[in-house]
Structure 1
Amino acid sequence: MEDQSYFHTFPAAQGTQAGRPFFIAMCPLRVIPKLFVFDEEEVPAELRAQRTLNRARVPEIAHYLLSRRDAYVMSALTASVDAAVKFLPFEPEKQSSLGYLQIPMEARILINDGQHRRAAIEEAIKENPGLGSDNVPVLFFVDEGLVRSQQMFADLNRYAVRPSDSLSTLYDRRDQSSELARYLAAECTTFKTLTEFEKSTISNRSTKLFTLSSIKRASRALLRKGPKEEVTPQERLIAKEYWEAVAEQIPDWVNARQRKVSTADLRQDFIHAHGVTLQALGMAGAELLATHPKNWRSKIKALRKVDWSRTNSPAWEGRAIVNGRISKSTSSVHLASNYIKQAMGLTLSPGDREIESRRSGRSSN
């Protein structure tokens, strides 16, 4: 048997995919930056096996590892080895699939999936060397050249689908605004039974009126909270009271909850049945609560007089509707919010007026 010092040796399991052997090994985090090569950015795309590294993503992942030292989760890396490897089963006579994987030290090991995690591991270990003793699973394939590696990258990412914002909100137990959204969907009369928890868009056949992600964005705007900011119990109660007060002034929402009207018809005919308006109501509500903390409930009654129909072009075209279609852009949210603020008798800020002037300029062209 050859000298072990010339090999990287890892406990591993052997398997087969499409007639090719592969190996799953446990690697200490401290060896990841030294062991795995990433094709540098100056290499042309046609000669690389994966996408260019987005440096902006690395600090966020590194911060996650460091801030969740006792609770982080990291999925497996996938890599190709450009040399012959050896697998030494624990029980050769039984053809065991468990054993040691030996990779020649001179081998080039190229990451097919996980390059941002690799870079983040390197950054995190610099700040907290103790992370180096943790392990990450690595899926090793024997490299068959650049073409095969490029195809592996394409195949690994072909069916990778980012979870919807609503599903991420449902499962995220660390984000305060996600917690707020789940609370409101469960406890606020306005959103009970009408919230879509898994999708961030609502189909025509759905009986739901709001998405969990739109509730999160709207309530974050209402409380003027950033993604990482804490939401106090008092603020949570204020949000619940505000949305219930809004619903009292929008009878269609109440009728939808009572199954007196089709949510599909509301989405087709009214602007208030879309996330852009919910977020605009949150933004307007923030100004209302800030300027009228004592009598905001009386001010909000003005919403009952608003014509929310999509045919009300003078109000909504160029705001929440652009060229006859619902717009979810940031400017559309702000412009719709301005209209709602004015409907409630609020004074527009200089920033609001600037946005209004730009809209007027576009309308006159």
Structure 2
Amino acid sequence: MSNINDHHFTFPAIRGIQAGREYFVSMCPLGLVHKIFKFDEEELSPELRAQRILNKSRVPEIARYITNNPDNYVFSAITASIDGDVKFTTINNTPEAQRNGFLRIDMNSKIIVNDGQHRRAAIEMAIKEDASLSSESIAVVFFIDRGLERSQQMFADLNRHAIRPSRSLGLLYDHRNDMSKIAKLVALKSIAFKGLVEMERSTLSERSRKLFTLSSIYTGCHALLDAKELSDESNASKLCITFWDEVSKQIPEWEMVQKSRLTAGEIRKELLHSHGIAIQSIGIAGSQLLSEHPKDWKQKLAALKNIDWSRSNAKIWEGRALVGGKVSKTYNNVTLTTNLIKQKLGLKLSPEEKRTEEAYKRG
């Protein structure tokens, strides 16, 4: 761990070489992170900064992640540049030990975070709520500062190849989110979706044999379930499976794809009912249907058969689910698609939905 003495920070460290330059890997107690690592929050123009502006709305969310998961949170290393006096002392001079030693950094040095500024701020916030976190640690990679241009280039390089996982893959691997667990169960066990869900990607190619994405199933189930129903994961999953299986009875093309009578690409190209906007809108309408007709909702749901899902029917879908012939999933488009489904199911529109519908008809 790091120590503070004799006007120096001392870190146990491993020395490495990258692009012909030294760098050092160490650990830092969480309680010292905000004291040692600085983040330049001055209102400087972008060309005079080496970092993005701190997005303060993200910090509480990351802090909650730490405090809500004290036994299994995980953080990647903070990357920092040192502008000041640095000395690395090896443990001894044997060849195998020359990479290991102690990194001494003058306390007057400026240590700037190149990558991990939101983690740094969130750690500080989390420790205020749970002081016991102070003794835990985070990995740190230190580079020697070579001026603003080098720091800016480091930021660009560190983020150049950073690609967020698809939403579907993130949901697939998320075992903390109850809603993602429900969506996975529905995707795997429902008759409606079995064998038809792309679990990794959030977009489907024309040649994909899948008809739905896990992210669209998640959104549809989330729209269907009332918040109170999430308290019982087993019953919530059963409700979703029952509902979507009943929906599939009204949309025969889904089963035809399962039995290889039609291809998924053909259905997605010609019809709207497997697209994310339709799944979400059916879920929203379904939530109201279950609430208002708890005993006869299945009979009411049969009206879905009366909807013409053809993308070629511009009179119905252009401006509602399509814009210029392409599927659009803006808030207004979701509302307008939901309105059509609700009207077919004999459900009343909310005041906001009515306003949106009237504006659409005037347009």
Distance of 1:161 and 1:358 partners within structure 2: 39
1:246 corresponding residue in structure 2: 247
1:90 Cα deviation from its structure 2 partner: 2.1
- Per the alignment, residue 322 of structure 1 pairs with 323
Structure 1: how far apart are the matches of 2:262 and 2:227? 34
Structure 1 residue 152: Cα displacement: 0.1
Contact 1:176–1:231 at 8 Å: present in 2 too? no
Whether 2:124 is the aligned partner of 1:127: answer no
CA distance in 2, matches of 1:290, 1:314: 31
Identify the residue that residue 256 of structure 2 maps to in structure 1: 255
Contact 2:38 2:112 in 1 (8 A): yes
Cα separation, 2, equivalents of 1:34 and 1:42: 21
Give 1:279's aligned amino acid: Q
After TM superposition, the structure 1 = structure 2 runs for residues 35-46 of structure 1, keeping only pairs within 5 Å, are 35-46=36-47
How far did residue 237 of structure 1 move? Answer: 0.7
1:194 pairs, out of 184, 196, 201, with: 196
Q: State the SS of the aligned residue for 2:303.
A: helix
2:273 is paired with a residue whose SS is: helix
Q: Which residue of 1 aligns with 2:120?
A: 118
Q: Tell me the matched-pair count.
A: 359
Q: Distance in 2 between matches of 1:297 and 1:49?
A: 59
- In 2, Cα distance between equivalents of 1:221 and 1:152: 42
1:225 Cα offset (Å): 3.7
2: CA distance, partners of 1:268 / 1:56: 39
Q: Which residue of 2 aligns with 1:160?
A: 162
Deviation at 1:235, TM superposition (A): 2.0
Alignment partner of 1:271: what SS? coil
Deviation digits for residues 77-111 of structure 1 (CA, Å, limit 9, x no counterpart): 00000124222222322252222111111111000
- Residue 186 of structure 2 corresponds to which residue in structure 1? 184
User: In the alignment, which of 131, 140, 145 is matched to residue 138 of structure 1?
Assistant: 140
Aligned residues of 1:41 and 1:52 also touching (Cα < 8 A):
no
Tell me the SS of whatever aligns to 1:101.
strand
- Is residue 2:227 matched to residue 1:233? no
Counterpart for residue 102 of structure 2: 100
| Cα distance, 1:185–1:358 mapped onto 2, change above 3 Å | same
1:356 aligns with 2:353: no
SS state at 1:141 partner: strand
Counterpart for residue 203 of structure 1: 205
How far off is 1:305 after superposition? 2.1
Q: CA deviation at 1:290?
A: 0.8
Query: Could you say what secondary structure the match of 1:42 adopts?
Result: coil
Name the counterpart of 2:73.
72
Amino acid at match of 1:220: H
Alignment-mate amino acid for residue 28 of structure 1: P
The 10-residue stretch of structure 1 (7-16 or 205-214) with the greater mean CA deviation from structure 2: 7-16
Structure 2 unaligned regions, length at least 5: none
Matched, 1:148 2:142: no
Mapped to 2, the partners of 1:78 and 1:291 lie a distance apart of 54
Deviation at 1:273?
2.4
Quick check: 1:84–1:142 contact (8 Å CA) kept in 2?
A: no
**SS of the counterpart of 1:293?**
coil
Give the 3-state SS of the residue equivalent to 1:272 in structure 2: coil
Are residues 1:271 and 2:272 paired? yes
For 2:339, the equivalent position in structure 1 comes to: 338
Question: Which structure 1 segments of 5+ residues have no match?
Answer: none
Letter in 1 for 2:357: E
Q: Using the alignment, how far apart are the partners of 1:6 and 1:205 within structure 2?
A: 64
Is the 8 Å Cα contact of residues 182 and 233 (structure 2) preserved in structure 1?
Answer: no
What is the Cα deviation at residue 47 of structure 1? 1.1
> By how many angstroms is 1:168 displaced?
0.6
Inter-partner Cα distance in structure 2 for 1:187 and 1:162: 28
Which structure 1 residue ranges, 4+ long, deviate > 4 Å from structure 2? none
Q: Secondary structure at 2:105's aligned position in 1?
A: strand
Map of 1:10 onto structure 2: 11
1:109-163, CA deviations, whole angstroms, 9 ceiling, x for partnerless residues? 0000000111111111112111110000000000111100000000001111111
Give the drift of 1:56. 0.6
Task: Sort the Cα spacing of 1:163 and 1:24 in 2 relative to 1 into closer, same or farther, 3 A.
Answer: same
Distance 1:103 1:230 in 2: 51
Identity percentage over the alignment?
47
8 A contact 1:180–1:231 mirrored in 2? no
Instruction: Provide the secondary structure at the position in 2 that maps to 1:273.
Output: coil
